[in-house]
Amino acid sequence: MTGMYHEPVLVQEVLEYLINLRDGVYVDATTGGGGHTMALLQNISGNARVVCFDRDADAIKEAEHRLNKWQSQVTFVQDEFSNIRDRLRELSIEKVTGILFDLGVSSYQINSAERGFSFQHDAILDMRMDTRSGMTGVDVLQTYAERDLADIFYRYGEERKARRIAQKIVEERKKRSITKTGELAEIIRNVVGERHLVKSLARIFQALRIEINAELDHLSEALVQTTDILQTGGRLVVISYHSLEDRIVKNFLKERSATRKPTDDPFARQDEEIEPDFRILTKKPLQPDREEQNRNPRSRSAKLRAAERC
C-alpha cells in the first residue's frame, strides 16, 4: 500500500482526550486505514477493547490487515456510524469509554482512482463510500433537477458559480451521459476557466461526495446516539475537515452542554430543566501545528473538538 497510506491527524491530541481508562471499551467510528486505532491500541491495556466501524469494505480489509497483531482486542463492523447504537447492542455492549470520529474520506479512498473520488484521476464517477448500495455520482448528475444540483454545489461546496455549473451539466447530459470524473472536470473548466479551476473542482467534488454519502445526516444522527452509549466520564472526540461538519459538531456540543428546557416534550413539566449531557473539553477547536500541516497537507483544515459525558 505504499503511497496510499493514510497518515492519521492530531494523533497525540486524540489520545490525550479520548483515553480516560486504560481498560475501557472504545469505538473508532471511522476506522479508515486504522491509524488512530493503532495508536490507541498502543496506549491502552491488553484488556481494553476497540470496536472499529467503517462503511467502506476496502477500509475494513486494510485495517484488519494492519491491526492483525491486536485481533483479540478488535471487532470490525462494516456499517454506517449512524447505526452505532444498534450495532453495539448486537455485540452486547451498552456503554463505552470513548468514541472517535475522524470524518470525511481517507487518502486511501482518494488515491484509489477507480473509486471516482478524485478529479486527479479519470475514472467512473462512483464516489460511494459503501459500494453495496445507493446512488453513484453518475446517478446524481444524470437524474437530479438543475435547481437541486445548484443547491448541492452551493450548500455543500460553497461554490459561487454553482448555478452556471448545474446549468451546463443539464445542457451536456441532454447530449450524452456524464459518467467520468474527467468529463465533469471538463464541464467545470468550461464554466470557471483555468485561474480558479482547482479550487472549483475541489468544491464541486466535495459537494457531490457529501450528497452521495449523506455525510451530514449520518453525522447528526450519530452524535445524538453518542449520548446514549457513552458512560459517565466517557469521551467524545471529533475531527472535522470543513465548516459544515464542524458547525454540526459545535452546535450539538453547545446545545448538549447547556441546561435545557424540555420544550420538545409536551408531557414534561415546563418548569423542570434538563441537565447537560456533555462538558466541553476544548473551548476552541484544536488544529494541527505548522509542522504537522507541512508534513501532512490533508491535516490543514482539521479541527478537533472533544467533550466528556456528564
Which stretches of the chain bind ligand SAM, using CB under 6 A?
A: 6, 8, 30, 32-36, 53-56, 59, 80-81, 102, 104-106, 129, 218
For the packed helices 215-229 and 197-212, what is the interaxial angle rounded to 10 degrees? Answer: 50
How many other CB atoms are found less than 10 A from the CB of residue 7?
A: 14
Q: Per-residue b/e over 164-200, b at no fewer than 16 CB within 10 Å? A: bbbebbbebbeeeebbbbebbbebbeebbeeeeeeeb
3-state secondary structure of 48: coil
CB closer to ligand SAM out of 81 and 119? 81
| Minimum separation from the CB atom of position 184 to ligand SAM (A) | 21
Q: Which is nearer to ligand SAM, 7 or 172 (CB)?
A: 7
- When the beta carbons of 100 and 191 are compared against ligand SAM, the nearer one is 100
CB of 43 to ligand SAM, least distance (A): 14
Using CB atoms, what's the residue nearest to ligand SAM? 32
**In sequence order, what E strands does the chain have?**
25-28, 49-54, 74-78, 96-102, 230-240, 278-280, 303-309
Closest approach of ligand SAM to the CB of residue 57, in Å: 9
Of 77 and 185, the one with the shorter C-beta distance to ligand SAM is 77
In the complex, minimum distance from the CB of residue 292 to ligand SAM, in angstroms, rounded to a whole number = 14
Pick 165 or 252: Cβ nearer ligand SAM: 252
| 63 vs 165, beta carbon nearer ligand SAM | 63
Q: Tell me how crowded residue 16 is: count the other CB atoms within 10 A of its CB.
A: 16
The closest of 134, 127, 135 to 180, measured between CA atoms, is: 127
Rounded least distance, CB 266 to ligand SAM, Å: 32
Helices (H), 24-145: 35-41, 57-66, 84-90, 107-111, 137-143
Cell of 168: 451546463
Considering the complex, state which of residue 30 and residue 97 has its C-beta at the smaller distance from ligand SAM: 30
Q: How far is the CB of 140 from ligand SAM (least distance, A)?
A: 17
Instruction: Single out the residue of 223, 219, 217 nearest to residue 236, CA to CA.
Output: 223
On whether the CB atoms of residues 103 and 96 are closer than 8 A, the answer is no
Closest approach of ligand SAM to the CB of residue 79, in Å: 7
Please state the closest distance from residue 244 (CB atom) to ligand SAM, in A: 14
Neighbours of 263 (CB within 10 A): 9
User: Rounded CA gap, 281 and 12, in Å?
Assistant: 15
105 or 150: whose CB is closer to ligand SAM? Answer: 105
